[in-house]
Amino acid sequence: MKVILMAAALFAVPVLHAQTQWQLATGYGVNTFHTRNLVQFANDVDQATQGGLRIAVHPNNTLVKLAEIPKAVESGKVQAGEAIMTSFVGEVPIAGADAVPFVVRTYADARRMWQLQRPLIDAHFKAIGLKALYAVAWPPQGLFSIAPVRSKSDFQGTRMRTYNPTTVRIAELLGTQPVDVPMVGVHRALSANRLDSMITSALTGVENEVWGKIKYYYDINAWFPKNIVFVNQKAFDALTPAMQQALVTAAADAEKRGWAMSQAAAEASVTELQHNGIQVERVPPDFDADLKRLGERFSREWVNSVGYEATKIFIPYYFER
């Protein structure tokens, strides 16, 4: 008995402070670079707080489905989440800025857009009880198709995979039928002949091994959507100041690391599509002009729906370089 008590006392020594355990839900798969980055972020927090704050990452929609993650964190059902920023547009219209087509064309511009968007996101998130930690861009969005695409009319009577309000509106403007499919379900939807085309990153094409069905990838470089990692503000406020600081520092590191991972994946994945027999092409000039017109129309609609705040991003973005 004495021995057991001594052993218990020995084990008790390292626990100097109470441990906080958080659940973090994400809608993306384990192997996606966003999730790998997130797991490293959680490990960094664990180390920096000496196990004081443990974040359990639940990938692949297992804890909460992607579309429901914002509300689940707002209500405190889970303490933290990662979602594509456009899943907030219903509550925070400015969150859609990074999915307006043909505005951001490079990673440098995507970073600039995030710098302009961040103060607005911080303010809106505060109002809904959230704290933004970091955001990382997906690689640029291109057009995948089973059949060659030469003009807008090729989309008539076809089905396009969508993943957010922007892709739904684009599908409508192209005259194709939107089919909502989560990223992790693209392979299955293609195998079941439910899709003819989709706009997403080359990386998402690679991770879903789309080459069985998809024959063409058009590098239209349409936009750079971002994922955002956020926590319930009350859960954050309940941490000790040292833990809060550790979390914010680890988030800044994760943001830096994530953008570098994204850029590396962007280049590698286009090559990988080619290696697997997908033709990587440019769209014909006439169709390109149609796409740009469609993008302009989308921008006008977006500015109109967001109102004055849109100018706080677009005016400095375009005129204060």
Chain positions contacting ligand PCA, by CB under 6 A:
84, 138, 163, 183, 200-201, 204, 225
Give the integer Cα–Cα distance in Å for 134 and 155: 37
Q: What does DSSP say about strands 80-84 and 53-58: parallel, antiparallel, or unpaired?
A: unpaired
Residue keyed to tokens 């951001």: 104
Nearer to ligand PCA, 52 or 140 (CB): 140
DSSP 224: -
Q: CB of 70: closest distance to ligand PCA in angstroms?
A: 16
Using CB positions, name the residue nearest to ligand PCA.
201
Phi, psi of 144 (to 5 degrees): -100, 140
Q: Which residues lie closer than 8 Å to 75 by C-beta, 6 or more apart?
A: none
At 192, the amino acid letter reads A
Q: CB of 20: closest distance to ligand PCA in angstroms?
A: 31
Nearer to ligand PCA, 23 or 167 (CB): 167
Q: Which residues lie closer than 8 Å to 225 by C-beta, 6 or more apart?
A: 84, 85, 86, 98, 99, 137, 138, 141, 164, 166
Q: CB of 182: closest distance to ligand PCA in angstroms?
A: 7
Q: CB of 32: closest distance to ligand PCA in angstroms?
A: 8
Q: CB of 29: closest distance to ligand PCA in angstroms?
A: 10
Nearer to ligand PCA, 33 or 155 (CB): 33
Neighbours of 241 (CB within 10 A): 7
Nearer to ligand PCA, 201 or 233 (CB): 201
| Residue 190: its H or E element | helix 186-191
Nearer to ligand PCA, 224 or 302 (CB): 224
Nearer to ligand PCA, 134 or 138 (CB): 138
> 72 burial class (0-12, 13-18, 19+ CB within 10 angstroms)?
buried
Strands (E), 85-140: 130-137
Q: CB of 257: closest distance to ligand PCA in angstroms?
A: 18
Q: CB of 56: closest distance to ligand PCA in angstroms?
A: 23
Q: Which residues lie closer than 8 Å to 257 by C-beta, 6 or more apart?
A: 37, 40
At 33, the amino acid letter reads F
Nearer to ligand PCA, 138 or 236 (CB): 138
**Structural tokens at position 21:** 């355990």
Q: CB of 37: closest distance to ligand PCA in angstroms?
A: 14
Nearer to ligand PCA, 206 or 247 (CB): 206
Please give the angle made by the CA atoms of 233, 308 and 119, to the nearest 5 degrees.
30
